[in-house]
């Protein structure tokens, strides 16, 4: 069965790192809407210009813009065997639109990475992003552990913006948990543990959800 995975969780929960791992293991694209928007900002596209101020203030980009970005991406041939969505949906309106985009695809698997708020603030304020390859690390070294590039702190990783992002998450994105909770393919995972343990827990959650979906399909 194809894996169509949505990674839910607040900023700095580690879902981006884990999403990349799952995407590699299942050989499906990792679709990070945050990365797509940052690329648009750097390129100065209309979407990028519209999103820049909002992102730097920790606000959400409009539903219409995000739905359009994801619709275009899911129409590409490399998503036929599945995908990992990281950063979308962030509102119930986006989740409803995503359900409409799924069509005949396999059911969505939704994994929520759960981490306490104060841990999230400490993580976000301590992390750095490689200017060259995009690797995110909390290593205190001055160069990227992957490619040796310069490590920079993103503007939206200062404490004030991080706390605002968490407030926005609780207000606008937390209702997604209620939206998805009753689905048999929804799985919460404890993200407040070492990365390898989180990866193992997510892998188990995905396998459980896929088996549940397959069993439900056989009953139809």
Q: Is 127 a catalytic residue?
A: yes
68 has pLDDT over 70: yes
206 has pLDDT over 50: yes
8 has pLDDT over 90: yes
The pTM of this model reads 0.78
Collect all residues with Cβ–Cβ distance below 8 Å to 193 and sequence separation of at least 6. Answer: 201
Q: Is 154 a catalytic residue?
A: yes
Q: Is 52 a catalytic residue?
A: no
**Of 38, 123, 128, 165, catalytic:** 165
pLDDT of 136 reads 80
When pLDDT is averaged across residues 154-178 and rounded to a whole number, the result is: 85
pLDDT of 217 reads 61
pLDDT of 219 reads 42
**Of 20, 105, 127, 163, catalytic:** 127
Residue 145's pLDDT band (cuts 50, 70, 90): confident
3-115+173-219: what fold?
A: Rossmann fold (3.40.50)
pLDDT of 218 reads 46
pLDDT of 199 reads 95
**Of 38, 90, 123, 128, catalytic:** 90
| Burial class for 121, CB neighbours closer than 10 Å (0-12, 13-18, 19+) | middle
pLDDT of 45 reads 77
**Of 20, 105, 154, 183, catalytic:** 154
Strand ranges (E), the chain: 3-8, 30-32, 82-86, 108-114, 128-130, 136-137, 151-152, 186-190
**Of 15, 38, 123, 128, catalytic:** 15
Q: Where are the domains of the chain?
A: 3-115+173-219
For the segment 80-136, what is each residue's pLDDT rounded down to a tens digit?
Answer: 999 999 989 988 999 999 999 998 888 999 999 999 988 988 888 877 888 888 788
């Amino acid at each position: 069965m194809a894996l169509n995975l949505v990674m839910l969780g607040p900023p700095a929960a580690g879902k981006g790192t884990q999403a990349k791992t799952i995407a590699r293991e299942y050989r499906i694209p990792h679709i990070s809407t945050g990365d797509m928007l940052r690329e648009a900002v750097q390129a100065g596209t209309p979407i990028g210009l519209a999103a820049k101020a909002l992102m730097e203030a920790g606000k959400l980009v409009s539903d219409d813009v995000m739905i359009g970005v994801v619709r275009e991406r899911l129409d590409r041939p490399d998503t036929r065997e599945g995908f990992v969505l990281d950063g979308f949906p962030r509102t119930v309106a986006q989740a409803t639109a995503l359900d409409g985009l799924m069509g005949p695809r396999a059911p969505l698997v939704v994994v929520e990475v759960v981490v306490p708020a104060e841990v999230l603030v400490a993580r976000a304020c301590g992390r750095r992003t490689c200017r060259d390859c995009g690797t995110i690390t909390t290593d205190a070294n001055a160069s990227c552990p992957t490619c040796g590039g310069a490590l920079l702190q993103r503007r939206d990783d200062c404490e004030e913006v991080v706390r605002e992002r968490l407030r926005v998450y609780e207000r606008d994105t937390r209702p997604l948990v209620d939206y998805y909770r009753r689905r048999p393919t929804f799985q919460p995972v404890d993200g407040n543990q070492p990365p390898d343990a989180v990866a193992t827990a997510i892998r188990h959650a995905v396998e459980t959800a896929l088996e549940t979906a397959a069993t439900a399909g056989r009953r139809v």
